[in-house]
Structure 1
Amino acid sequence: MGARVSDRIAAIAESATLAVDAKAKALKAAGRPVIGFGAGEPDFPTPDYIVEAAVAAARDPKNHRYTPVAGLPELRAAVAGKTKRDTGLDVDAAQVLITNGGKQAVYNAFAALLDPGDEVLLIAPYWTTYPEAIKLAGGVPVEVVTDEAAGYLASVEQLEAARTERTKILLFVSPSNPTGAVYPPAQVEAIGAWAREHDLWVVTDEIYEHLIYGAAEMVSIAHSAGEKVVVLNGVAKTYAMTGWRVGWLIGPADVVKAAANLQSHATSNVNNVAQVAALAAVSGDLSAVAEMRAVYDRRRRTIVSLLSDIPGVVCPEPLGAFYAYPQVKGLLGVGLRGRTAASSAELAEIILEEAEVAVVPGEAFGTPGYLRLSYALGDEDLAEGVGRIAKLVGEG
């Protein structure tokens, strides 16, 4: 008898970040005082006015029925308006597809654009879902590896060295998950111009657009990359709405229509109550995110300082999102309560079991020798969690 599961699905790696989060929650449920730096989700509740809009929507019978696959017309229009406000891009409501979270937008984009064997330039460290979505769509991820010395930023020269006649898409992410890197405006423009010159598609994930700090600036590559751009975004990170599952894809009308056709067979319309909540979010001002950003900024400075004090840890300053991505090669092969880690994956396991702190190893993001820590958790937990790692390392 043959394998029970198709080769295509059997080849998918589970989401490492969600796996770490699940293991941490299981240990916590068993009474262990685990502190989780694993999942990338805000620790704030969704703002009240968004929740109230959803409550009202749940009572309205019109939301109990099917609605257009591509999204509520008023939400598509509001997303177009919000995009103009936030990134200066002029798009029509017909160019917006509302999706079940940012992940469906990622999958839909690659499924709509890729044929078998098409290559996608994937800058590493990368979010764990990207290579799986590319492969599921028949594409081939081509990794362009960056490190802390370059601030985790890819250069035009690196991208050009990785380009072949099979390259169809550049995946561009700024601010970045997992590194928190934000590309300077001039570099965004140069990469966009390079992509346009070589007639490449650019898929740009802008989900962290409002979480930037210090002097960093968010500039959309859509301004310089020409017509062949697909923008991915959603309400999850800006409005603390990870569980509501509303994202979107913006692109040329034919690509959006193709992605909507796919969605018509996969899920059809996104939950109407969640769509109405998202409408309240994107139609409102950005005061809620401004408050959250101030807290993240404080935590960001704290975590970088605490991690940098640990011998063997090198932690560049993240300028966006809510992650620190320290290089931890100095902790490999070192005694930690009688155990030694040969890899960052083993190190993360030792930290979880010995210090009761959940972190995600760099293997999940294409760069072994690193750890990702989300600082979207309470200040006390943050200090206590990094303190436990420091104590583990200090004890030797």
Structure 2
Amino acid sequence: MKLANRLHNLGTENAFEVLNEVHRLQASGHNIISFAIGEPDFDTPENIKQAGIQAIKENYTHYSPSAGILPLREAIANHIAGTRNISVSPDEVVVTPGGKPIIYYVLHALVNPGDEVIYPNPGFPIYESVIRFVGGVPVPAPILEDKDFSLDTEQLQQLITPKTKLIILNSPHNPTGGMLTATDLKNIAQLACRHDLWVLSDEIYSRIIYDGTFASISSLPGMQKRTIVLDGFSKTYAMTGWRLGYGVMNKKLATHIARLVTNCESCTNTFVQYGGIEALTGPQESVTDMVNEFKARRDLIVAGLNSIPGFSCKTPNGAFYAFPNVTEACELLGLSGSKALQQYLLYNANVAVLPRSAFGAKNTGETQEYLRFSYATSRDNIVKGLEHIERAIRTGRKLTVITA
């Protein structure tokens, strides 16, 4: 079968590969506790579900404008204006089926073959995947544990060359739960303005914060015109399966992004967009309750991880991920790295996590090993999962492989 060469540059999201293995093991009778997938375990709030149902009943089942229905774009513009302290027009909003299309379309719209794109590493794997797919050159910017999983902006400055076109930011950050500080954002903004760079700011976890307040680089002087804000409904409102996200950008770029939507999926599901209006304009207590529960789970899992031999875990400020350093655990078990430890825990402790390698290759000079835990699961599962892990670490059994 003759395939296009570009397909060899396309990566994947390893969380779904691990999820497939979890399902296979569960089907064969294994009780797996999963910390692998980044999806809230809450149901979509009832008022949002009813808004979607009502939209179907009122026959909002036809095409919508490629950029999204005007009432939703107005609601998004008002939301972004209020939370980022900037003036936003509905013409600067493009609605997409999930947040990933914004990554995909922005990179297609801005990056020529050979252009360099700086992205966080470790980071959401789709960044690097699509950069390579469009012919760009991915330039990893290390996310550092000794900076509480933030960027070293002095090091970032050294990564910028005449070929740099775009910087991708993600705060709160997947997989570490770290956040960029106000000083970080100010320094990055100065670099972007000085070198005339675009910034894609992935703010999908902006409402899931436990300590401090959220800040967007789009709010800083000179940055709104060169920043694409990516946000959506999946994490905040437990709407992952609804597939509803959006980008906010200058009007000229928004026109081009909407044209890419026209060429690909025509538009986002129309009645789903009415659910989005209700999410933004309706009661917000469900968000507060969910974040409070995530905070309790965060405290539980961090304390538990730090009690396991060979694990050391910083307390994340946002999102719902813990990113423990497991270098000593790998050494205790004689394992070659986080991938081997991830396999060991899956097959010997019945616990699914993701290895550091699921979020990009190690940076130059990086020697530490990490695992990602999504604590978007019940407190009971967290307690049981940590007990299984501690038992497996203490007993130190050799890696066995379960086959179908």
**TM-score normalised according to structure 1 size:** 0.95
| Residue aligning to 2:335 | 341
Equivalent position to 2:145, from 145, 148, 159: 148
Distance in 2 (CA, whole Å) between partners of 1:150 and 1:37 is 25
Equivalent position to 1:68, from 65, 69, 87: 65
Asked whether the equivalents of residues 321 and 373 of structure 2 are also in contact (C-alpha less than 8 Å), the reply is yes
1:234-383 correspondence to structure 2 within 5 Å: 234-335=232-333, 340-366=334-360, 369-383=369-383
Distance in 1 (CA, whole Å) between partners of 2:292 and 2:361 is 30
Q: Deviations over 1:155-209 (max 9, x none)?
A: 2201111111101111111100111001222222222122112211111001100
Deviation (angstroms), 1:152: 1.3
Equivalent position to 1:81, from 78, 81, 84: 78
1:183-198 correspondence to structure 2 within 5 Å: 183-198=180-195
| Residue aligning to 2:218 | 222
Asked whether the equivalents of residues 111 and 259 of structure 1 are also in contact (C-alpha less than 8 Å), the reply is no
| Residue aligning to 2:393 | 393
| Residue aligning to 1:127 | 124
Q: Deviations over 1:64-100 (max 9, x none)?
A: 2211111011111110011112222211000000001
Deviation (angstroms), 1:108: 1.1
Q: Deviations over 1:302-321 (max 9, x none)?
A: 11111111121111110000
Distance in 1 (CA, whole Å) between partners of 2:350 and 2:378 is 16
| Residue aligning to 2:34 | 36
Asked whether the equivalents of residues 182 and 217 of structure 1 are also in contact (C-alpha less than 8 Å), the reply is no
Distance in 2 (CA, whole Å) between partners of 1:140 and 1:343 is 27
Distance in 2 (CA, whole Å) between partners of 1:307 and 1:181 is 17
Give the AA of the match of 1:350: Y
| 2:385 counterpart SS class | helix
Q: Which runs of 4+ in 1 moved over 3 A?
A: none
Give the AA of the match of 1:25: H
Asked whether the equivalents of residues 76 and 97 of structure 1 are also in contact (C-alpha less than 8 Å), the reply is yes
Distance in 2 (CA, whole Å) between partners of 1:89 and 1:139 is 31
Q: Deviations over 1:317-368 (max 9, x none)?
A: 1000000011111122433xxxx42121111111101111110100011255
Question: When the two structures are aligned, how many residues end up with a matched partner?
Answer: 388
| Residue aligning to 1:173 | 170
Give the AA of the match of 1:352: L
Q: Deviations over 1:205-258 (max 9, x none)?
A: 0110011112x2210001225221111010011101111000001101111111
Give the AA of the match of 1:147: L
Unaligned runs of 5+ in 2: 363-368, 397-404
In the superposition, relative to structure 1, how do residues 25 and 89 fare at CA in structure 2: closer, same or farther (>3 Å)?
Answer: farther
Does 2:48 match 1:54?
Answer: no
Identity in percent: 35
Q: Deviations over 1:37-77 (max 9, x none)?
A: 0110100000000000011111122x222111110111111
| 1:332 counterpart SS class | helix
Give the AA of the match of 2:85: G
Asked whether the equivalents of residues 34 and 358 of structure 1 are also in contact (C-alpha less than 8 Å), the reply is yes
Which segment drifts farther, 183-192 or 119-128? 183-192
Distance in 1 (CA, whole Å) between partners of 2:144 and 2:313 is 11
Q: Deviations over 1:117-136 (max 9, x none)?
A: 11111121111111112222
Give the AA of the match of 1:78: A
Distance in 2 (CA, whole Å) between partners of 1:367 and 1:303 is 26
| 1:58 counterpart SS class | helix
**TM-score normalised according to structure 2 size:** 0.93
Asked whether the equivalents of residues 156 and 194 of structure 1 are also in contact (C-alpha less than 8 Å), the reply is no
Unaligned runs of 5+ in 1: none
| Residue aligning to 1:212 | 209
Deviation (angstroms), 1:4: 2.8
Asked whether the equivalents of residues 40 and 235 of structure 2 are also in contact (C-alpha less than 8 Å), the reply is yes
Does 2:150 match 1:160?
Answer: no
Give the AA of the match of 1:218: F
Asked whether the equivalents of residues 184 and 217 of structure 1 are also in contact (C-alpha less than 8 Å), the reply is no
Distance in 1 (CA, whole Å) between partners of 2:2 and 2:345 is 36
| Residue aligning to 1:11 | 9
Distance in 1 (CA, whole Å) between partners of 2:349 and 2:294 is 24
Root mean square deviation, CA, Å: 1.3
Q: Deviations over 1:363-386 (max 9, x none)?
A: 011255211000010110011112
| 1:213 counterpart SS class | coil
Distance in 1 (CA, whole Å) between partners of 2:273 and 2:324 is 37
